[in-house]
Structure 1
Amino acid sequence: MSGRLALHPMAVRIAHWLNAFAIGCMLTSGWGIYNASPIFGFRFPAWMTLGGWLGGSIAWHFAAMWLLVVNGLFYLGYGAASGHFRRRLLPLRARDVVADAASALRFRLPHHPGAYNAVQKLLYWGVMLLGVVVVLSGLAIWKPVQLEPLCNFFGGFDFAHKVHFAAMAGIAAFVVVHLALVAIVPKTLLPMLVGRGHTEGNVQ
């Protein structure tokens, strides 16, 4: 039965938008930090960076990092304690991911507001893992002496830089895909703002 039901609890919506702000700040300030000492043969355009100069980019980067960490811990705690992860992101089976990916490539994957398909579930678990990696690798290159065991875990200072960049690139790719899906299915945006939307069945 169709109806206008609650799709996203307020806690999820607040965490979502705080994460969006923090990740945006971290990406653009991180690109400013990268430009000061690039590890690959390119630089990001100045208009894509945040902070204006190296010191400003570092200040923005660390401020956004702590927001991301605190908000991320809140989201993980809420998701586990409330059953949100169990209801929305589980179960996750390889055969379902393959089937839904094949349907998506043929543009035949149906969309049900408030419910995630297997590919979306995999992407959400993946970006949460990347968030953990980007924070830990960032701490490793920030304090390589004080956090030597952590730095060594990532293969040393130089390789930790590459891990941090790769995790950042993965998060940026997720953001691009996420925004593209919102553009393709714009009706998914309003429920993330107001929490309610039209759906079929009862989505908890």
Structure 2
Amino acid sequence: MIVATRPAGSGRRLHPLAVRIMHWINAVAMIVMITSGWGIYNDDVIIRGLHFPDYLRLGDWAAWSLNWHFAGMWLSVLNGLAYLVYGSITGRLRERMLPIRIAEVWATIRDTLHFKLAHEDLTVYNAVQKLLYIIVILAGIAQVVTGVAIWKPIQFSGLVALLGGFQTARVIHFAGMTIIFGFLIVHVVLALLIPQTLLAMVTGGPRIARSPGQPDRHT
């Protein structure tokens, strides 16, 4: 993916300690939720003929998978809220993910299809990266909403009706899982292809310069 180059500064790290901790907590929570979700899915499949093999499931049967799913859910929700609050207060969400311009998205896609990939500067996200991160955040929020509807369909009957019924809520929940799983696969593949991105999430990455007069709130 094409990224612009700018000089590293002597300011804060690209990935502050708080971000790194939340990133790895989220990785664990996502693995727990996806694999336990596959165990729950197998008990009442949505797509006929699609079953997940036992070695990919967390939990020997649906009840155990459900327990693991709830554990991962609470960890994911609390960690996600912490990330959104942190990103909003520090301005990291706005700084890293905005603005997104359609012309830049198309330009990045075109360059990627021509294998013009560059990652000299890890401190800049291109338009497609920004868009994907926003999509996966929205998918995560949708998972919470549909998950609550599936978990307590009687208590949240109004929400279930708004989603188009219990089975439709399950389908939306499954689609959200597919989006998140696809994002994780791409994320892992890119990390393996460009090891410095993985190293940056462990060490904090390069230091980046602050804008004049901007407080160093992320360290």
> TM-score category by the smaller chain?
over 0.9
Do 1:8 and 1:114's aligned partners in 2 also have CA atoms closer than 8 Å? no
Alignment match, 2:105 = 97
User: Structure 1 67/2 Cα, relative in aligned 2: closer, same or farther at 3 Å?
Assistant: closer
Correspondence 1:52-91 to 2 at 5 A = 52-91=60-99
Residue 153 of structure 1 corresponds to 162
Partner of 1:28: 35
Query: How far apart, in 1, do the equivalents of 2:171 and 2:54 lie?
Result: 21
Matching residue of 1:134: 143
Match of 1:162 among 163, 166, 171: 171
- Counterpart CA distance in 2 for 1:138 and 1:11 is 27
**1:39 equivalent in structure 2:** 46
SS at match of 1:196: coil
Distance in 2 between residues matched to 1:93 and 1:182, nearest whole Å: 25
1:43 alignment partner, SS class: coil
Q: TM-score, normalised by structure 2?
A: 0.88
Counterpart selection for 2:126 from 117, 123, 127: 117
Q: How much identity, in percent, do the aligned residues show?
A: 48
Alpha-carbon distance between aligned partners in 1 of 2:39 and 2:8, rounded to the nearest angstrom: 48
Letter in 1 for 2:23: H
What SS does structure 1 have at the residue aligned with 2:47? coil
What one-letter code is carried by the residue in structure 2 that aligns with 1:129? Answer: L
CA distance in 1, matches of 2:68, 2:33: 7
Secondary structure of 2:173 counterpart: helix
> Shift of residue 151 of structure 1?
1.0
Equivalent residue for 2:213?
none
Provide structure 1 residue ranges, at least 5 long, that are not aligned to the other structure: none
2:24 match: 17
Secondary structure, aligned partner of 2:15: coil
**TM-score for the superposition, normalised by structure 1:** 0.94
Q: For 1:98-130, what per-residue CA distance to the aligned partner results, in whole angstroms no more than 9, with x for missing partners?
A: 111111111113222122111100000000000
Q: Report the RMSD for the aligned CA atoms in angstroms.
A: 1.6
- For 2:71 and 2:209, how far apart are their aligned partners in 1? 39
107-116 vs 33-42, which deviates more? 107-116
Q: Do structure 1's residue 187 and structure 2's residue 193 form an aligned pair?
A: no
Secondary structure of the residue aligned to 2:142 is: helix
**One-letter code aligned to 2:80:** G
- 1:14 counterpart letter in structure 2: I
* Letter of the 1:16 counterpart: H
Which one-letter code corresponds to 2:169 in the other structure?
A: A
